[in-house]
Structure 1
Amino acid sequence: MLIKHEFEVRASAKYLFDLTQDYTLRAEWDTLTTEAYLLNDAKEAALGVQARCIGGNGLAMDIEYMSYKPNEVAAVTMVSGPYIFDHFAGGWQFKALSDELTRVRFSYNITAKPRWLSWILTPILCFKFKRETEKRIVALTAYAERQFPAVQASLNAI
């Protein structure tokens, strides 16, 4: 089942892309994640890189980047995760509307396990994930709009 959210943030596409793909900052703004880090000694997110995200409930999901275009798109698929997920994939798109305004689109494709109950469990799982994603969007927007002016000022001072 596909879940989509589209929203605007008063920050540059580069800043938002970098922020959302920086695993050292993820727990500062991401309401779904209490801990996140790259795997296999990777130094930064990139195509083929894997990461682990751990939620407040202690459940962990390992993902792999299937697409990575800086300042534009990051897409992942689940490598391993909580039993309830049969399939999880997500994509984040960033479209600069100006130097200080970006349209962001989060898209997730989720299927629940066990497959014989997927017809009833997937809509329930997606409903919960959609609500959590809405909280995540509010938190990301607030964090980015609070931090972006300071980041811009320090870059302009250089």
Structure 2
Amino acid sequence: MAYMALIEQRLEIAAERARVYEVSQDYAVRYQWDPFPERIAFVGALQTVQRGARVEVVARSGLRMEVEFVQVDAPQRAAIRMLKGPLLLKQFAGSWVFSELGPQRTQAVFRYNLKVQPWALPWLLEPLAVWYFRRAVVARMRGLKNYCEQLVN
């Protein structure tokens, strides 16, 4: 297996796991808590979060990526892989996993794996890509936590 950089962040959320998962995958409310996307739209025949569904994501930074859901196991996990993306990225995949810690307590784990193109000076640009996505993950997790915890209170 080829090396891919790993970005992983964990955060405890004071809300029920099913609710956290639902909020995380509901694109109607996504813009209320998620600072990353400018636009999210389903592409193709599948118009709900399910295995095989394709989604185009345009980040506020201008980064554009088309991803496919490769695993959907509500309320525990959703995983994607990049189909089309920035020229710099050779591969990108991610998963959001939600574990029940107790009543109204959920652990969220966001994992992203990425690999930059071999011609893109990986020794230089891969750490920058990791920095960019790690920053985005931290902000997204904080947004999800704040939104879900406000729903509970």
The verdict on a shared fold, with TM-score over 0.5 as the criterion, is yes
Q: TM-score, normalised by structure 2?
A: 0.90
Give the aligned partner of residue 156 of structure 1: none
1:98 aligns to 2:102 (yes or no): yes
**Count of aligned residue pairs for this structure pair:** 149
1:122 equivalent to 2:126? Answer yes
User: C-alpha deviations, 1:35-77, integer Å up to 9, x for none?
Assistant: 1122214231001111111111222211101111001111100
Q: What aligned pairs does 1:115-154 form with structure 2 within 5 A after superposition?
A: 115=119, 117-149=121-153
1:120-146 CA distance string (max 9 Å, x none)? 211111012112211111111111111
Aligned to 1:38: 42
Is 1:26 aligned to 2:27, yes or no? no
Are 2:63 and 1:59 equivalent residues in the alignment?
yes
Provide runs of 4+ in structure 1 moved above 2 Å.
113-116
Cα RMSD after superposing both structures: 1.4
Q: How far did residue 114 of structure 1 move? A: 4.5
Letter in 2 for 1:106: F
Q: Which has the higher strand share?
A: 2
Scaled by the length of structure 1, the TM-score of the pair is: 0.87
Gaps of 5+ in 2: none
Higher relative contact order (CA 8 A, sep 6+): 2
Separation in 2, partners of 1:37, 1:99: 33
Q: What percentage of residue pairs aligned between the two structures are identical?
A: 28
- Counterpart position of 1:77: 81
Match of 1:107 among 107, 111, 129: 111
In proportion to residue count, which structure has more helix?
Answer: 1
Q: Any conservation in 2 of the 1:23–1:38 contact (CA below 8 Å)?
A: no
